[in-house]
Amino acid sequence: MIAFARGALLATVFLSLSGCSSPPSTDRPGETGDRSPDQVIEGFAMIITDQGVKKSRFRARRAMIFQDEGMVESEDVHVEFFRSNGEHYSTITADRGVLYTKTKDMDAYRNVVVVSHDNIRLETESLHWDEDQDLITTDDPVTLIQGGKRIQGIGLVSDLSLTDVKIREPMGVFRDDDVPGEG
């Protein structure tokens, strides 16, 4: 009964938010200024679907829902992404995140890590996921780790699988034993 009530509450929240059309706030999560959330949910979880097919699972320790702005600000974010056949292919974790309920886009902040299904790892401090284009972008410094190699640079555009990565300003490629303090 509790699981049903929580699921019904989340479905109600999502449906009430999906019709909002106000522009999103420029505040980063945790910087709400004088704004107060319409709802606060501890242990937040949401499944995002497209025509009944699961696209992602968004979980957070705490979520603050701002209905007029069409956004959910979250703490301790964990998002899993799925292909149309249900196969898991990527995960994003971050200290803070914003889910834009109308577009399903997401921003992630602080200690952002993306891990692909084949263990390619991206580390940065902020990231934007564009749901329509299925792309992640950042202007911050990035480290891409794969098979004992680290590629560092500034700025990035990539698919969520981290198979088509473009680092805007590459700074170097290092083996683990080349990185100071490691290996």
| Residue 125 CA to its chain's centroid (Å) | 12
Q: What is the residue extent of each domain of the chain?
A: 2-18+38-178
Query: Which portions of the chain are predicted below pLDDT 50?
Result: 1-27, 29-30, 182-183
Residue 77 to residues 4, 29, 86, 114, Cα–Cα distance (Å)? 23, 11, 21, 12
Residue 112 to residues 2, 54, 77, Cα–Cα distance (Å)? 32, 23, 9
Mean pLDDT of the residues in the chain: 83
Give the per-residue pLDDT at 104: 87
Give the per-residue pLDDT at 156: 97
Backbone angles phi, psi at 27, to 5 degrees: -65, 140
Given CATH 3.40.50.720, say whether it is the number of domain 2-18+38-178.
no
Give the per-residue pLDDT at 105: 92
Q: Which amino acid is at 107?
A: D
Give the per-residue pLDDT at 69: 93
Give the per-residue pLDDT at 50: 86
Give the per-residue pLDDT at 35: 79
What are the tens digits of pLDDT across the range 87-97?
A: 999 999 999 99
Residue 178 to residues 113, 171, 175, 181, Cα–Cα distance (Å)? 22, 14, 5, 9
Rounded CA-CA distance 99/32 in Å is 15
Dihedral of CA atoms 139, 61, 91, 27 in degrees, nearest 10, equals -20
Rounded CA-CA distance 103/50 in Å is 12
Give the per-residue pLDDT at 1: 37
Q: Which residues pair with 49 in a beta bridge?
A: 54
What are the tens digits of pLDDT across the range 99-139?
A: 998 988 999 999 999 999 999 999 999 999 998 998 999 99
